[in-house]
Structure 1
C-alpha cells in the first residue's frame, strides 16, 4: 500500500510536539512520537547512531509506538517487548519499519514530527523518496522565542550533565551533534561544544525552505506556529482541508485535546521520552494567544552582522 503520511518539518522547541499531538487527535489522523526513521536508511544504522552519538533516547518514540500498536499500552514490559522486536528486526530498512507502523494505524494518516528529519537536506530527501506522495508541513516559530526556548533546553542539558556525570546517558539528555555547525562540532569531546540557538534556527529553516521549494505543487504548506495555536478554529480546518480529511466541527474540536494523545505523557523508565520533555510535563493547550515579539532590535546583539541580516530576511519571508 502507498502511504501518504504528514511530515512536520521544524527545529527543536518550535511547537512541534503539541502540534503533532493535536493534529493526531483528528479522527482521520494518527500522531506518532519522534520516530527518527528519516535519519538513516536502516534500523541498524539508526541504532549505531544512537550508540556513537551518545543518544540513548533515539528509539524511545519508536519503542513506545510499537508497544502501543502491538499491545495498546506503554508500560515497562510492553516497551521491553517492543525493544526486543527492534533488536530482532535490525536488518530492516527504515522505510519498511515506517510502513509497518503505518499499516497498523491505516486508514488513518500517520503524522511524524521528528526534529532529526531537518538535520540534513538528505534526511528530508530520504523522507520524500520513501513517501513520494507525503505532505510536508513547515512549522515556524519566531527566531527570538525559538532561540530562548532552545537555550533553556540546552541549559537544562548542561545542568543535568554537571549533576549526574556518567549517569547522563541513562537520563537521556543529549543533543545530536549534527544540529551544530561544523566548526562547533566536537564528537571526541576535546573541548566544550557550543551551540548558537539563533544559528541553529537559521540553519534549520534555510534547509527546510530549500527543500520545500522543490516539492510538487500541493504537497507542502507553511504555517506560523503562533498563528495556529492562537486561532485553532481558523487554521485547523485549513490544514484538514489541505490533507483531504474531515473539516466538521466535531473533528476540529477533537483536535483541541492534545493531552489525550497516548504519547502525551512521560513513558516508562525504559522509554521515557519520544517527545519534548517540557511538553510531556504539561501537554495541555494554553488558553491565551501566543505572543509574537518584534523582530528588529531583539536579537542582533547575539550574532555577527551577516548572520543577523540573514535571520531577519528569512524571518520576514515567514511573515515575522
Structure 2
C-alpha cells in the first residue's frame, strides 16, 4: 500500500480509469492533481475517506481564512497563464485574424451544453476548450498547462478537423509547441482548416481575466462574444458538488466562498468587457431560458451570429460533437456530467430555487446579480462582520458588509414567483420566461411583433395574425374553439426568428374575425372553405384603421399545417381532401367526433332547436383584468402578462363592463359538425386514413380530452404518424410551446433529409 503507483507502471490513462471508477462507484469527482499528490494506495484511500465524509456532510465545515487566500483567487484570474501578480501585457500583432466567436461564462454555467448545441450547426466549428487566449505563444501555454488534460482540447480539435488519430494529433501539437507558434498563428491555422465555417472557442477560464478578454480584441477583427449566465445559487452549488475547489490546489479555502468569488469575478469581467466593445458584438444568453426554450434562444443566437437557423442545434445528444477525449479512456475535455443526460432537461433551469447556501451572497455578488437581472432569496443583514472571512473586490480589499454564515431563512422562496397553487402538478410552464430575467426578457419579447391583416372570404372578414418574413416558408396554424390566432404567439415568434412565415387566422366567429349573420351557423365545411381560401390568398393589411393592399400571396407551395383541438379536426380533414397543399401536418391534442347514439338523436335535435330559439349570452366581466383572470383559471400556465394581452384582444365593451368578442353561439357547439349523421366518428376516421402528409400527433400527459381508446383509434387511423407526449394539459401551445417549436423544426429537418 506504500508503493508509488507511478513507479509500478501506472500511466495517465490508467489514472483516468481510476477517476472514472471513483465517480461511478463512490459518487465523488476527483481530479488528476489529487491522484498525483497521493500516488500510493494508502494515502489515496485515506484521502478518499475524508473527502467522501466531508462531501456528504449536511453543512460544509467553515474554514478559518485569512486574506492571504486572496492571492490564490487573483492567480486564478489568469489560472493557466502567466503566473504573475502584475497585469499581463500581451504582444499586439500588426494584423488581426478574421472574426471568430468566443463563448464566455463562469465555470458550471452550462457552457458544455451550449457548445455542443452550436457544434451541430453546419456553419460553425465548435471544439472543446482550446485554452489558447491567455497566452502569447505555445511555449507559454505548454509551460502553464504541462501534461494536464486541460491541453487536450486543441489536440481534439485537430483530430476532428484534420481527421487525425490521437497520436498524430498529439504529435502535431507537440511540433507547433516546439516551434513556439504564436497563439494568433494557431488560431489562424484552425480558421484556415475550418474553411467557410466560423470558429467558436469555449473556455470558461478566459472570463477570469479582463486582460485575457481584451487580448481577443487585439487578435481578431469584429470578434463576437456570447455571454452565458446562470443563477449564482445553481453555479455555486454545482461548483461545490463537483469539488472544483480542488483544481485551485488550496485546501484551506471554503469551497462555497471560492465558488461565489469565481462566479462574481467572471461575470463582472465579462460585463465590464462588453461595455468596452460595440453592442452589436456581444449577446447575452440565460441558461435558465436556454433549457426551457431552446428553440427560441438558439434562433436569436443564430441571428446574432448572422447564420441561418439550423434545427440540428436543438438535438445536442445526436451525432458526434467532440464530447469525448482524445483517447477512449480520456476524461472529456469539457463537462463530464454532460453525458449523464440524453436530452435537454428544462427542470435544470429551476434548481436554484431549491438551493440553500450556508451563507447569503456577499455585497459584490449581489451587485453582479442585479446587473444580470437575477432575483435572490431574501437576505438577512448581518449585525457584525466576521473578521476572518475574506472577500475581494476589484482592488482586493475587504468590503465592510459581509454576510455572516447560516443566516439564510430555510424555507423562503424567491420573491415574485408564481404561487404554487396556480400550477397544476407535473406541468412544465415552458411559455413563461424565467422569473429572474426581469426587464431583459420583456425587451426580447419585442423581436418578432405580431401583425394583423384581413381577408374577405365569401363576404366574411377574417383576421389573420402573422409573424416573420413575407417570403418565408409558410406555417399555417389553426386554433381551437373559443380561441384566437394570437394564442399561437409563443410558438410563432421563435419560428419567425428561424425565417418561417407563421399565419394564424382568427377563425370565423372568433377573435377579430366577423361573426356569421343571424340565421347562420358554423359548419365544418365553412372552416374548411376558409382554410382553403387562406392558403393562397393575398390579405389586406390594416394599418391605423385604413386598408392597404398587400399583393404578396401567402404561398403557392405546399405548407406546414398545425392544428389544435377543434382546429386539429379542421386541419386533419383539410389535409385529407387537399393533400397537394399540405407538406407536413402537426395535430396538437386532436379530438374525435362524439360517438353516435341513435336513441339520443331526437333529444339532440330538440336541444339544438332550443339553442336556436334562445341563443346564449356572454358573461359580463367588471374589467379586462377580470377576463384575464378567467383565462388564467382555464389555463394556469398562462403568464399574467400574456393573459392580459389575450384578454385585451378577446374582449369588447359590454353593458356594465366587458364581454368576450367571439360569437356566443360558438359555446353551444351546435353547428360545428363534429357530431350527428352528417359527420360522425366513423367517417372522420376514414378521412384520417387518407392523409398522405408526414404527420405528428401530440398529446399532453395531463389532458383529459382523449381517452386511451381515442388515442389508439387516431393512431390506428394514421399508422404512419409519429406520436409525441409532452408535459402539459390540453392547451399545449401554452404549456409546452418550445417543445412544439422543436418538433416543427425537427420535422422540417427530416423533410429536407
> TM-score, normalization: structure 2?
0.35
CA distance in 2, matches of 1:221, 1:201: 18
Specify the SS of the correspondent of 2:150.
coil
Selected match of 2:134 from 39, 52, 65: 39
CA distance in 2, matches of 1:239, 1:137: 8
Alignment partner, residue 180 of structure 1:
none
Structure 2 residue 373 is matched with structure 1 residue 319 = yes
1:51-77: CA deviations, max 9, x gaps? 3xxx7123110011112222x25x443
Conserved in 2, the CA contact under 8 Å of 1:295 and 1:312?
no
Q: Where do 1:167-206 residues align within 5 Å? A: 175=247, 177=248, 192-195=252-255, 196-206=258-268
Once the two structures are overlaid, the 10-residue window that deviates more, 284-293 or 215-224, is 284-293
Structure 2 residue 333 is matched with structure 1 residue 274 = yes
Conserved in 2, the CA contact under 8 Å of 1:60 and 1:271?
no
Change (3 A) 1:270 1:49: farther
The offset of 1:288, in angstroms, is: 3.1
Higher strand share: 2
Alignment partner, residue 305 of structure 2:
243
Structure 2 residue 322 is matched with structure 1 residue 263 = yes
CA distance in 2, matches of 1:92, 1:257: 36
Selected match of 2:194 from 90, 105, 130: 105
Structure 2, unpaired ranges of 5+? 1-95, 375-753
Alignment partner, residue 63 of structure 1:
155
CA distance in 1, matches of 2:206, 2:225: 11
RMSD: 2.6
Selected match of 2:170 from 72, 76, 80: 80
Change (3 A) 1:319 1:68: same
> TM-score, normalization: structure 1?
0.78
Alignment partner, residue 378 of structure 2:
none
Alignment partner, residue 217 of structure 2:
128
Higher helix share: 1
1:165-214: CA deviations, max 9, x gaps? xxxxxxxxxx2x4xxxxxxx86xxxx745542112111111111111111
Change (3 A) 1:296 1:213: farther
CA distance in 2, matches of 1:48, 1:243: 34
Specify the SS of the correspondent of 2:346.
coil
Structure 2 residue 288 is matched with structure 1 residue 226 = yes
Conserved in 2, the CA contact under 8 Å of 1:50 and 1:58?
yes
1:92-133: CA deviations, max 9, x gaps? 111110111111112111111111211211110111211131
Alignment partner, residue 151 of structure 1:
240
Rg comparison, structure with higher value: 2
Conserved in 2, the CA contact under 8 Å of 1:258 and 1:264?
no
CA distance in 1, matches of 2:345, 2:355: 29
The offset of 1:296, in angstroms, is: 12
Alignment partner, residue 308 of structure 1:
362
CA distance in 2, matches of 1:287, 1:296: 16
CA distance in 1, matches of 2:130, 2:351: 32
CA distance in 2, matches of 1:204, 1:62: 23
Greater RCO structure (CA 8 Å; 6+ sep): 1
Change (3 A) 1:204 1:286: same
